[in-house]
Structure 1
């Protein structure tokens, strides 16, 4: 996501006092999960592998990739969502999670990065649900060795917005991870002319099909407050573990406010961590992997 749209998103943030523990320092080598720097033990009968997926959604089949963990039996699985437009896909994170014994499913929304169809924010929400339905299909779960009772959904940037809204409506999700989440619904609350929103979208068009900055602006302007980090979303997230990772991109207060709302709604397992890095976590990739893997390993 470009600086222009990040600046627009930050405009809707109400900066408040940080809650909970102070920002954690970067993980030290002695505390890093072994999966970050160690390959798993070889299992010739059940080696790790990669599978190309074609996932039905909205009358087309979107493109996906499954990074499947080695070892016999069904594996817990993370559904990993990229942002807008998705230049940073966090595939290093996917590989590290797989080394930790979890499988990872990534995908490209309709109209993005070669997936057929037209790109839209509403379509992104529908695509996430379609991916969950696909991996829960008994035939697919068996084929790919997916433990459908241990599905975690994780999203970066705009993907964090898709993740939050999707997980809030799905009580069977085992956990939720938000990475520098961008509240696209909150973007619609910015008291600015449409031309300002259009300009913020113009820098996010690479590899998107079937849309325009004007169409994207119309969508996000219409979202607020129904499709934002609202009280209903917080209530829906309260019944499952939540990891919120923030960075120095201006979006942290919105994500922190959502985490606090989840706690106020009864959430008993909310973890918030901040790192001094950019929106893409360019200088904190190992810290990102350590935070996610340690949290996943702590799930019961």
Structure 2
């Protein structure tokens, strides 16, 4: 019995030690601030004639607060809302949104429009009235994206140099995807259409194929050399794409890149705490 008891104690100490090594926002709530409580605000963001849907998780305390915008993938079943909640506990505004034609946002869905919508979200958040209302520090906005949202982040960060940084989570190069065999590309799209309006698997495949050169990571490389980048890859087959992006940015003169690989799936299903901890720790290094 004594041996069993010691084993339990050692396991408990090990678990506590692991928890203590993680940022406090991972495992504990921040102090409540009755005067400036944490909250959630629904957003209706103007983008090309319609109002797309979004939310912002707002942290407790007086602002302005640093802000992260999280771009979901295709179709966006994994929206990383646990990450958004952890970031709020760490003192960040955490914004998520749905591209036109996805998950109830008005309009029809198009890959090219996703890039326009990301720009529209950033423009909206930087407007003085919005920034004041949501207590946003407009000089400390970071863009993050998962899967196809990582592609949105790459292409956006390449030209929006007012961003404080960019985070790629298992990012997918939509340009390379567009070079896939047509029938296989249609099949790929057919498996990723939940919540999308105004498209078919064929139309999505056609758009990606026709714009594969314009959609490629290669077009973003010159604009990324001065961007603070956190690149997170997994065992999902996409790591070579972001590895190549990193090497190309370094060759261009970039020097602000941190890369982390985890042995997990595309959704980071069994590494969520690791994912959140890594991102929070990296964000703390930004000036």
Bucket of the pairwise TM-score, normalised by the shorter protein? over 0.9
Q: How does 1:146-157 map to 2 (within 5 A)?
A: 146-157=136-147
Name the structure where helix makes up a greater proportion of residues.
Answer: 2
Which residue of 163, 182, 186 maps to 2:176? 186
Which residue of 148, 157, 169 maps to 1:158? 148
- Give the match for residue 126 of structure 1: 116
Gaps of 5+ in 1: 1-26
Cα drift, residue 118 of structure 1: 0.2
Contact 2:19 2:27 in 1 (8 A): no
- Give the match for residue 225 of structure 2: 238
Query: What's the CA shift string for 1:213-246, capped at 9, x where partnerless?
Result: 111001111222222110x412211112100000
Distance 1:237 1:243 in 2: 12
- Give the match for residue 253 of structure 2: 266
Secondary structure class of the residue paired with 2:56: strand
Distance 1:290 1:253 in 2: 24
Secondary structure class of the residue paired with 2:76: coil
- Give the match for residue 25 of structure 2: 35
1:74 aligns with 2:64: yes
Query: What's the CA shift string for 1:5-46, capped at 9, x where partnerless?
Result: xxxxxxxxxxxxxxxxxxxxxx94332111000111111111
Distance 2:86 2:257 in 1: 23
RMSD (Å) for aligned C-alpha atoms = 1.1
Distance 1:235 1:101 in 2: 32
Cα drift, residue 267 of structure 1: 1.5
Distance 2:59 2:159 in 1: 27
1:297 aligns with 2:287: no
Distance 1:73 1:180 in 2: 31
Q: How does 1:46-195 map to 2 (within 5 A)?
A: 46-190=36-180, 192=181, 194-195=182-183
Contact 2:103 2:196 in 1 (8 A): yes
1:287 aligns with 2:274: yes
Larger radius of gyration: 2
Cα drift, residue 255 of structure 1: 0.6
Given the two structures, how large is their TM-score scaled by the length of structure 2? 0.92
Count of residue pairs brought into register by the alignment: 271
1:254 aligns with 2:244: no
Distance 1:97 1:142 in 2: 20
1:214 aligns with 2:202: yes
Runs of 4+ in structure 1 deviating by more than 3 angstroms, as ranges, are: none
Which residue of 162, 166, 187 maps to 1:199? 187
Contact 1:186 1:223 in 2 (8 A): no
Contact 1:79 1:151 in 2 (8 A): yes
Cα drift, residue 116 of structure 1: 0.6
Distance 1:154 1:93 in 2: 11
Secondary structure class of the residue paired with 1:226: helix
Distance 2:144 2:108 in 1: 23
Q: Indicate the larger mover: 27-36 or 272-281.
A: 27-36
